[in-house]
């Protein structure tokens, strides 16, 4: 029995509803993108995803150091010329590379040894303990240098000279008032170095020293037979020949002390100058401090040549003993105990100045100070250590 027209229409209508329902189900399984827009589903709305919290950094109390580090190499001290004094003739010269220390012969003049003493003042006059009537015994920095060297070489200079030298060492380097033209200075008011006197006991020590050197033991010191340098030396170059007058340039002497040389391109000397204190770090991990001894112009005519040679002396020579490579760090500025944040936390304001953004979006105006080590010093109302600020 066949279906009637009404029953057929009813079945058709049921298929249409089923197809629509199936299509809606496919859309739901496909991601539900159309559901909110069509309103086909009822009930509570889906939860909206929240944004990830932005990274922050903490305001810290720290020390900021603005410094630059330069590569250096350990070298022999710079060489300087040696010219003799007096009227003698050179009768013997050292070999290049010879090391000469305190009390040792550098060369011979008229077949007499010219020896090295260590100190900061050359001998500029004959030293004699014989005092003319109404005169005074020699005293001053040159006498101090002589006495210090005699002591170091093991000679007894007497208690008076020992005490005077000790007082001079405690007082530090001073001008030699014996050579000033400002008039006589009372001995009890003079600097300690000026009170180091060439006494008869010192002259006796000189007599023993001269005998040991093979010189006539007169107790009188001829400055032409003494060379004074700050430290032991190495003969870098022999310039003169035997038979030349001692007043010619004889030798080029380099300090035996090791130094650090830093070659800099032109225009990069910056704040490096004699007397500046630096930090040293050798390749084998030794660290210490040093002082810039000199900044000398270098040959700027050769392409690629350095513009300056900076020479640094180490306070402790052992820092330079184990490695040829040394890092030299010069501090240009330093701030202690300041509030600081990463430089990237700064926001430039449209009207000028800077601000820090707090996690809730509040902008906190700040004043910047020193920039160093990727941080910036900041101050501002309400800004305290531990405050967290937004960074990119």
Rounded Cα distance, 341 and 58, in Å: 7
Q: Is the pLDDT of residue 16 over 60?
A: no
Band (pLDDT 50/70/90 cuts) for residue 135 is confident
Chain-wide mean pLDDT for the chain? 82
Q: Identify the weakest region by mean pLDDT among 4-18, 203-217, 351-365.
A: 4-18
pLDDT for residue 375: 96
Query: Taking the domain 56-65+334-390, which CATH number applies?
Result: 2.40.420
pLDDT band at 10 (very low <50, low <70, confident <90, very high): very low
Structure tokens that stand for 337 in this block: 């105990």
pLDDT band at residue 65, thresholds of 50, 70 and 90?
A: very high
- pLDDT band at 50, cuts 50/70/90? low
Residue 156 or residue 189, greater confidence: 156
- What confidence tens digit (pLDDT) does each residue in 89-104 have? 999 999 998 999 999 9
Of 215 and 321, the structure prediction assigns the larger pLDDT to: 215
Residue 243 has a pLDDT of 97
- Comparison of pLDDT for 236 and 170, the residue scoring more: 236
Q: Is the pLDDT reported for residue 232 higher than 50?
A: yes
In contact, 142 and 124? CB cutoff 8 Å: yes
Confidence of residue 193 (pLDDT cuts 50, 70, 90): low
pLDDT band of 323, cuts 50, 70, 90: confident
**Distance of alpha carbon 169 from alpha carbon 300, whole angstroms:** 42
Q: How confident is the model at residue 6 (pLDDT cuts 50, 70, 90)?
A: very low
Q: How confident is the model at residue 306 (pLDDT cuts 50, 70, 90)?
A: low
Question: How many other C-beta atoms lie within 10 A of the C-beta of residue 377?
Answer: 18
| Average pLDDT, integer, range 285-304 | 75
Residue 173 pLDDT more than 90? no
* Per-residue confidence (pLDDT) for residue 21, from 0 to 100: 38
In this prediction, residue 297 has a pLDDT band, given cuts at 50, 70 and 90, of confident
User: Among the listed ranges 32-36, 49-53, 288-292, 340-344, which one has the minimum average pLDDT value?
Assistant: 32-36
Percent of residues, the chain, with pLDDT higher than 70: 78
Average pLDDT over residues 82-87: 92
Question: What number is the average pLDDT over the span 280-297?
Answer: 90
Rounded to an integer, the average pLDDT of 126-132 is 91
Beta-sheet strands, E only, within the chain? 56-58, 60-76, 79-83, 90-92, 99-100, 105-109, 112-118, 226-229, 233-238, 249-255, 258-264, 277-282, 287-297, 308-314, 325-342, 347-348, 354-357, 363-372, 375-379, 388-390
Task: Centre a 10 Å sphere on the Cβ of residue 173 and count the other Cβ atoms it contains.
Answer: 12
- Of 94, 90, 146, give the one whose Cα is nearest residue 122: 146
Residue 180 has pLDDT above 70, yes or no: no
- Fold match between 56-65+334-390 and 67-75+258-333? no
In DSSP notation, 37-75 reads HHT---SSPPPPPPPPPPPEEE-EEEEEEEEEEEEEEEE
Reported confidence tier of residue 28, pLDDT bands at 50, 70, 90: very low
Q: Is the pTM of this model over 0.75?
A: no
- What kind of architecture, by CATH, is found in domain 67-75+258-333? Beta Barrel (2.40)
Question: Per-residue pLDDT for 187 more than 50?
Answer: no
Share of the chain above pLDDT 90, in %: 56
User: Which pLDDT does position 293 carry in this prediction?
Assistant: 87
Q: Where are the domains of the chain?
A: 5-38, 56-65+334-390, 67-75+258-333, 80-255
């Amino acid at each position: 029995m066949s279906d009637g027209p009404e029953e057929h229409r009813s079945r058709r209508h049921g298929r249409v509803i089923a197809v629509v329902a199936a299509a809606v189900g496919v859309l739901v399984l496909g991601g539900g993108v159309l559901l909110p827009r069509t309103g086909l589903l009822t009930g509570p709305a889906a939860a909206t995803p929240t944004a990830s919290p932005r990274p922050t950094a903490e305001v810290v109390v720290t020390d900021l150091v603005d410094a630059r580090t330069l590569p250096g190499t350990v070298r022999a001290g710079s060489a300087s010329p040696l010219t003799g004094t007096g009227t003698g003739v050179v009768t013997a010269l050292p070999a290049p590379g010879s090391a000469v220390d305190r009390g040792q012969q550098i060369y011979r003049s008229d077949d007499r040894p010219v020896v090295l003493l260590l100190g900061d003042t050359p001998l500029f006059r004959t030293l004699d303990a014989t005092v003319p009537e109404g005169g005074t015994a020699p005293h001053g920095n040159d006498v101090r240098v002589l006495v210090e060297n005699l002591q170091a070489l093991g000679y007894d200079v007497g208690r008076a000279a020992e005490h005077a030298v000790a007082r001079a060492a405690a007082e530090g380097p001073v001008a030699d008032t014996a050579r000033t033209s400002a008039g006589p200075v009372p001995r009890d008011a003079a600097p300690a170095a000026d009170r180091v006197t060439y006494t008869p006991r010192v002259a006796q020590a000189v007599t023993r020293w001269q005998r040991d050197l093979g010189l006539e033991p007169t107790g009188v010191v001829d400055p032409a037979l003494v060379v004074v340098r700050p430290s032991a030396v190495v003969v870098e170059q022999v310039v003169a020949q035997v038979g030349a007058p001692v007043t010619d340039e004889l030798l080029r002497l380099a300090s035996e002390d090791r130094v650090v040389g830093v070659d800099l391109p032109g225009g990069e000397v910056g704040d490096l100058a004699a007397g500046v204190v630096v930090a040293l770090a050798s390749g084998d991990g030794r660290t210490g401090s040093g002082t810039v001894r000199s900044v000398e112009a270098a040959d700027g005519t050769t392409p690629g040549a350095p513009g300056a040679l900076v020479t640094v002396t180490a306070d402790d020579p052992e820092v330079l003993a184990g490695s040829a490579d040394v890092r030299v760090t010069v501090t240009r500025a330093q701030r202690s105990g300041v509030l600081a944040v990463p430089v990237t936390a700064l926001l430039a304001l449209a009207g000028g100045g800077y601000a820090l953004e707090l996690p809730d979006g509040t902008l906190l105006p700040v004043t910047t100070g020193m920039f160093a080590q990727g941080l910036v010093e900041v101050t501002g109302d309400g800004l305290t250590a531990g405050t967290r600020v937004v960074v990119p």
